[in-house]
Chains A and B, each alone.
Chain A
Amino acid sequence: MHPDGELETLMVRYQQGDFAAATALVHRLSPQLHRFFAVQFVSRASADDLLQETWLRLHEVRHTYRQGEPVLPWLYAIARHIRVDHYRKAGRTSAREQSLDETPEMPAPRAAPAATLTMEELLAPLPDSQREVVQLLKISGMSLEEVARATSSSVGSVKQKAFRAYEKLRERLGKMGGAS
């Protein structure tokens, strides 16, 4: 069975109350969701928290998935919402607790061969929106149409962000001597 078709079948069984299908989905989709959060420069503990929070929300609104529709755009649309909510709450908390002059901690560029860079280091020079598009397209393996659905934007906008992101990555990796 096609992987997307398999996800849809599992999702429908999950809606019907099949716990085995829910467990299979959690084990199948959590690694890529965890990467989705981890690549946004959050700590591993925060990525774990966001993953749990996302599954709780997915469970609450599982009836909003419609049979025949792709699962990944639905899943990532909700995961993005959780992430944005997390930033908003974190912003409020830090504003109450202390004023920080520092910007969020980003991985410092390393003088290392491109092939040895971590995902966070590779995508560090990209703005959030481009980083997200590259990740969904190239790491999660979604189509342009699916990424557009997940990010509530148009296919044209996704293409443009991916193009700009690849320009920056090409420039950066070229300077580092390619994949050597």
Chain B
Amino acid sequence: MRDGEIDDILKKAAQAQPAPDGALLDKIAASIQPNMRPVRPLPPAWVLRFTLMAVCIGIAAAGAAGLGFAGSQAMNSTQKLIFPALIGFITLAAAAWAAETIPGSKRHGAPWNVSCVATFTLFALFRTLFHDHHTEHFVHAGLACLIAGLVNAIPIGLAGWWLLRRGFSVNPKDAAIAAGTLAGLGGILMLELHCPNFQLAHLLVWHTAVVPVSAALAVLLTKLVQVRRAHADAR
């Protein structure tokens, strides 16, 4: 049987399906009439993307300015390649988050793809660009960086949420992954600008971890909100 024949059978079956009652459609139209007022459409996706990027980079730079730019000043020109890579991933994550808050948007990949690719690429870049194999105060210094990165991610997440508050996410989990990834990348950007500890193990574990941990925390937070809403609905 050819595809065209299957199409014909499907179309015939669709035509035979009962349509909704006219009375129901009138009732639906009447139900929206009382709230009929002009609304301001969302800005174009590129405006949202650009604003998210600017907010992320601005907050990361402000965080580093508060703590000092010791990291970027101590880097050689090759090691500074980490910055264009971070800006590239921030662009991708901002695009993913903006797309997740506009129903029916064109997606350039699932947000978890952006998160994974960013994490593994940053891991590989750190491995390639930094060569200090000493390890001192691994856990103590590492935890301090992880916490600083995550603390810097919080205002980025909040500012992004405020910017996109008029959007509507049809996949809250995916939106949370995109949000957490963008915020985490902002956290790493702040760490690279500030942290002068170039020990390879420190960078590979504690700096890179900011992105997946931030994404996981964002998903957890979204889940908690959903559970609370479900309980509230059930009451």
Partner of B29, one of A26, A80, A134, A154: A26
Chain A interface: which size bin?
35 or more
Interface of chain A, main secondary structure: helix
B28 and A38 within 8 A (CB): no
Please tell me which one of the listed residues A22, A31, A166 contacts residue B20 in the complex, with CB atoms under 8 A apart.
A31
The reply to whether B12 and A115 form a contact with Cβ atoms under 8 Å apart is yes
Task: Report the contact-size class of chain B (Cβ under 8 Å from the partner).
Answer: 35 or more
Of all chain B residues, the one with the shortest Cβ separation from A169 is B6
Interface residues as binary, A67-102 with B (CB distance below 8 Å gives 1, 0 otherwise): 101101111111011000000110010001000000
A106 contacts partner chain B, Cβ-Cβ < 8 Å = no
Minimum distance in angstroms from B143 CB to a CB of chain A: 36
Closest to A81 in B: B170
* Given A63-B166, A89-B233, A55-B32 contact (CB < 8 Å): yes
Nearest first, the 3 A-B pairs at minimum CB distance are: A73-B104, A74-B104, A77-B103
What is B's interface to A at a CB cutoff of 8 Å? 1, 3, 5-14, 16-21, 24-25, 27-29, 31-33, 35-42, 44-45, 101-107, 109-110, 166-168, 170-171, 174, 230, 233-234
Not counting A26-B28, A63-B40, A81-B171, a sample of 12 additional A-B residue pairs whose C-beta atoms are within 8 angstroms of each other reads A27-B25, A34-B19, A48-B24, A55-B28, A63-B42, A75-B104, A92-B234, A119-B17, A138-B14, A148-B106, A169-B6, A173-B5
